[in-house]
Structure 1
Amino acid sequence: MNKTRKSNTVAASKVTFTELMLPSHSNFSGKIHGGFLLQLMDQIAFACGSKYSGSYCVTASVDTVDFLNPVEIGELVTLKASVNYVGNTSMVIGIRVVSENIRTGKIKHCNSSYFTMVAKDEDGNPTKVPHLELKNFDEVRRFFDAVRRINQKKKLKTLEEKFDYQSPEALKLLANYNVVIKL
């Protein structure tokens, strides 16, 4: 386990990789399969978290994966990742995915997402990660954006715990949705 808790910079966490999209990566509509892109995102999140923490990392959660633009066969996909936030043993990794048509040079933003990674020691137990050094206002903004998302998740969990799905109010709410109620 890390006995001394040093600090590390956002810049020291940055990882970028680019891969050519092949026909074997495509789905039935001829676009690159979303699951393949998620696999690449998980790999870069692991690399980024491990590089930053100096420890093996595992994925704890993935927040909001929106596929903004399709990726075509033959395009270059570039993934960029950096640590946006650190807790005691966890890190929020921001990931941006862009594709480039190598014939036209057109670049599309395809996806942005946030992976929470947990650092593990040699025995598989969570281990402390270095403090995060924020060196500019963009890094401060990304840190506070992560704090906001974390707090929103906590509030949502609290609301879900309090919500009674069997109450008359809940059943009335179902009338607003495309469901048939047969209880």
Structure 2
Amino acid sequence: MRMTRATATPCPRGAARRERPASSPLAAPESAIVEYARTLARHVDRTGSGPASWAYPTSAHLLLAEGRLFTPAPLSAATRRTPGWRCYRNAATVARRHGLLYAEGLAATRIAGTFWSFPHAWCVTPEGNAVDPTWESGHGLAYLGIALTDPAHWPTDQQGSLLEDHAHGTPLLRDGVPDDMTAPLGRPIPAPRQGMRGAPLRTDGHCL
């Protein structure tokens, strides 16, 4: 479903719109996924390659400003795992069926000893945990994203990413995220410390 033009408070490039309260130390995959998003955002800021008039030049900027960290949790016995490679449709379908929220952003897994990041979608429980109907149990080690409250905005069978919805002009990046569109679940990203770096993290840019 095509989203209407968002009404959101403009956010300076690279700035966080919501205050970041103190947070507990991050686990290694969480540190890695956050550092990957920061590295991508810094690169775009240095090169000026993002659209200057947009609220967020890239999805990394949006996730750093609006995103939350979600702790992985196992699927319930009543929730069946869905086929791979369709994570956006899978997460929206399971969320609708089981009264969960749809979330989208980045997820990290470990391959050959290295953390890899992928654009991904999952479900969020009322407790703020990530339930992944696409990846096998234990594969998702960290989830950074936004949980969307309105099922009318969730992907349908024919849609993919909402953050990278190029068919409709990527409205969440262009216009920003309305305050009432996301749920304050999960944990905030800690403010960066001088010289802080996460574990190495790679990405192939495709949802699994």
Q: How does the TM-score come out when normalised to structure 1?
A: 0.30
Structure with bigger RCO (C-alpha 8 Å, 6+ apart): 2
Q: How does the TM-score come out when normalised to structure 2?
A: 0.27
Q: Larger Rg: 1 or 2?
A: 1
